[in-house]
Every structure is written in C-alpha cells, then in structure tokens.
C-alpha cells in the first residue's frame, strides 16, 4: 500500500524539482530540504523513514542524495513515484550542467558565483545542524544508539572508513544485540 495521504505525482515532482534546484552542497543541503519539506511542512514522510532511506541507500552503490529521493518516492507512490521524484530532482542540475557545458571555454571565471556559493554553504552548515538534530531524536533513543552514533562519527572522521562498511557494521551489531537479548529471554 502507498501512503493514503501521499501527494499526487504532480505535487511530488514539483516538490523535488524545488529541492533539486536549491540542493547546492550535495547530500547535506538535500537532506535538510527534504526533512523540512516532506516531514515538517507536508507531513507525508516521517523522520524515521528519512533516516531509514539513508541507512539502506548507503549500503547500495550510487549517489546517496538521488537514492534517498528515489526511496522516499517509492514509499509515497511506488514505482511511478520513485521515477518521477528522481527525474524531477536531477533535472535542474542536469539543465544547469548542460548550459555550462554548452558555454564551456567561452566565459571567464565568475567570481561572484563562488562568493554566492560560499555564503550558501555557510547557511547549509546551519541547516544541516537542524536536520541532524531532528533526525537523531526519534532514531537515537538509548545509550546503545548514542554510543553507536559516536563510534560511527569517530571511525568515519578519523579512520576514513567507507560509510558502506560503517552502516553494515552497525547493522550487524544490532543483530548481535538482538541475538543476545533472545538468549537472555530464554
């Protein structure tokens, strides 16, 4: 079953067209915008589902941002939702890149563009803090979760271990804990 409250395909496409237009700075900005638009404003996707989409797409190859969009699109409107969402999301970037490719070599560097992007990136840092805070609350609910989050941060930041392995290790640890719990119950 699709979500009964799911937005129409048109609305979904429009939403991701907007997010795709302003998603400068990769995953960070996209995630902040998705959380704000779909969880906070429209209320059609829960924060657990957003983190779930990140969890499983990080295990798959490919650009995580567009995969989160495809995953959530499927949740809302199955295959048409996934394809429309992903296509709408990537259209602004592809159009911008086409324009750049067509003009490549013909224009000098545009310093103002870099300045604007730097300002935007600063704001994205702030918005990402908000998004992480909102996504963490329903998903990191006990000490085990907090320790796992901290451990993932340290391992990812200091050891540069690939995110695929970190998520996989976390999941295996979750299963190990469940096995132990099962043993206790007996």
Residue 20 · residue 88 · CB < 8 Å: yes
Q: Minimum distance between the CB of residue 41 and other proteins, rounded to whole angstroms?
A: 8
Backbone angles phi, psi at 60, to 5 degrees: -100, 155
Q: How many CB atoms lie within 10 A of CB 173?
A: 14
Alpha carbons 168 and 67: distance in angstroms, whole number: 17
* Residue among 10 and 130 whose Cβ is closer to other proteins: 130
* Residue among 61 and 183 whose Cβ is closer to other proteins: 61
Q: Minimum distance between the CB of residue 87 and other proteins, rounded to whole angstroms?
A: 9
Residue ranges of the alpha helices (H) in the chain?
9-22, 27-34, 47-58, 64-103, 111-139, 143-158, 163-185
The tokens describing 66, both together, are 């567009």
* Residue among 113 and 186 whose Cβ is closer to other proteins: 113
Q: Minimum distance between the CB of residue 90 and other proteins, rounded to whole angstroms?
A: 6
* Residue among 8 and 144 whose Cβ is closer to other proteins: 144
Q: Minimum distance between the CB of residue 152 and other proteins, rounded to whole angstroms?
A: 3
* Residue among 8 and 153 whose Cβ is closer to other proteins: 153
**Residue 23, C-beta contacts closer than 8 angstroms, at least 6 positions apart:** 29, 30, 33, 65, 89, 93
Q: Minimum distance between the CB of residue 10 and other proteins, rounded to whole angstroms?
A: 19
């Amino acid at each position: 079953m699709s979500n009964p409250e799911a937005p129409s395909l048109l609305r979904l496409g429009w939403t991701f067209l907007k997010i795709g237009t302003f998603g400068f700075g990769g995953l960070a900005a996209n995630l902040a915008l998705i959380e704000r638009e779909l969880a906070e404003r429209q209320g059609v996707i829960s924060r657990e589902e957003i983190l779930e989409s990140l969890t499983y797409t990080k295990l798959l190859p490919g650009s995580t941002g567009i995969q989160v969009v495809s995953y959530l699109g499927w949740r809302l409107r199955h295959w048409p939702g996934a394809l429309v969402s992903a296509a709408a999301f990537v259209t602004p970037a592809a159009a911008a890149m086409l324009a750049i490719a067509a003009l490549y070599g013909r224009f000098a560097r545009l310093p103002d563009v870099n300045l604007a992007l730097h300002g935007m990136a600063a704001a994205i840092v702030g918005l990402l803090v908000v998004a992480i805070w909102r996504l963490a609350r329903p998903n990191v609910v006990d000490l085990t979760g907090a320790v796992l989050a901290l451990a993932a941060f340290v391992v990812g930041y200091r050891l540069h271990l690939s995110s695929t392995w970190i998520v996989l290790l976390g999941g295996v640890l979750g299963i190990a804990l469940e096995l132990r719990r099962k043993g206790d119950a007996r």
